[in-house]
Amino acid sequence: MRKPIMAGNWKMNKTRDEALQFIYAVSNRLPKNEKLDSIICAPAIILRDLVKRQGDDLRIGAQNMHEKESGAYTGEISPVMLQSTGVEYVILGHSERRQYFNETDEAVNLKIHKALEFNLKPILCVGESLEQRESGITHTILENQIHKAFLNVKEEELNNIIIAYEPIWAIGTGKVASAEVADEACGYIRSLIRDLYSPKAADQIRILYGGSVSTKNVDELMAQPNIDGGLVGGASLNADSFIELCNAAVK
């Protein structure tokens, strides 16, 4: 049995005060950590504040990271810096990073290796665009992203990596992938891990669905055999809605 995950990706939202209000509002109201990994991935500038106040049942993650430890990269955040805040997770390869900041599969692979080296658990995002889905190349896109992301990653490192399938056409659009479509893609990703590593690795790796997850569709998504949780944007910004999503994940 894979432990479920409910991860919020706040993207570029919330001031420090708003973030702290959220943390106080969810405190003691989330499912126990033995049952669920509840995670909030927040803007880098408030990570340390959140880590200090996170409580036993919430984990904190970053949304991006540079692949180098230090250097002349104005405006970037390094794995060493993230580690020093005490965060446990880092989202890597989000489609918004790939799309707006030209993040390549090669960079994502370097970031995965660096994150693991600094004890940060990557939440690796993959997913196809609407055009790619409509031209029938979803599997090819996913295969390419997964193969490149996992280059030289060892099987024993996989238990520290989470995959999130996020079809670009479903992100922030209110157009959630149907539970069947989401499960099929997550199942395909699992089969890629089986081929790259082993049946055991495929059985153990946790795969999330992301893209317009809400309190309305979470039950159906969570009921799917290949979906182990959600990576949630908009619906994770409100404390009550995030708590409801977390409770749905342990039903």
If one asks whether residue 127 binds ligand 13P (CB under 6 A), the answer comes out as: no
**Tokens 């959600």 sit at which residue?**
230
Cα 106 from Cα 113, distance rounded (Å): 11
212: left (phi over 0), alpha (psi -120 to 50) or beta: left
Encoded tokens for 171: 């992100």
Give the residue, chosen from 6, 26, 182, 213, that forms a contact with ligand 13P under the rule CB under 6 A. 213
CB contact at 8 A, 13 and 33: no
According to DSSP, the β-strands at 206-210 and 162-165 are parallel
If one asks whether residue 31 binds ligand 13P (CB under 6 A), the answer comes out as: no
If one asks whether residue 171 binds ligand 13P (CB under 6 A), the answer comes out as: yes
If one asks whether residue 123 binds ligand 13P (CB under 6 A), the answer comes out as: no
Q: In angstroms, what is the minimal distance from the CB of 62 to ligand 13P? A: 13
Q: Which of residues 57-116 bind ligand 13P (CB under 6 A)?
A: 94
CB contact at 8 A, 236 and 40: yes
If one asks whether residue 128 binds ligand 13P (CB under 6 A), the answer comes out as: no
Residue 94 appears among annotated catalytic residues: yes
Smaller CB separation from ligand 13P, 19 or 213: 213
Encoded tokens for 230: 């959600």
Q: Which stretch binds ligand 13P (CB under 6 A): 98-106, 130-138, 183-191, 205-213?
A: 205-213
CB contact at 8 A, 209 and 125: no
If one asks whether residue 163 binds ligand 13P (CB under 6 A), the answer comes out as: no
CB-CB neighbours of 91 under 10 Å: 25
If one asks whether residue 231 binds ligand 13P (CB under 6 A), the answer comes out as: yes
One-letter-per-residue 3-state SS of 203-227 = HHCEEEEECCCCCCCHHHHHCCCCC
Give the residue, chosen from 122, 167, 211, 229, that forms a contact with ligand 13P under the rule CB under 6 A. 211
Q: In angstroms, what is the minimal distance from the CB of 230 to ligand 13P? A: 8
- Give catalytic residues, as residue numbers: 94, 166
Q: Which residues bind ligand 13P (CB under 6 A)?
A: 9, 94, 166, 171-172, 210-213, 231-235
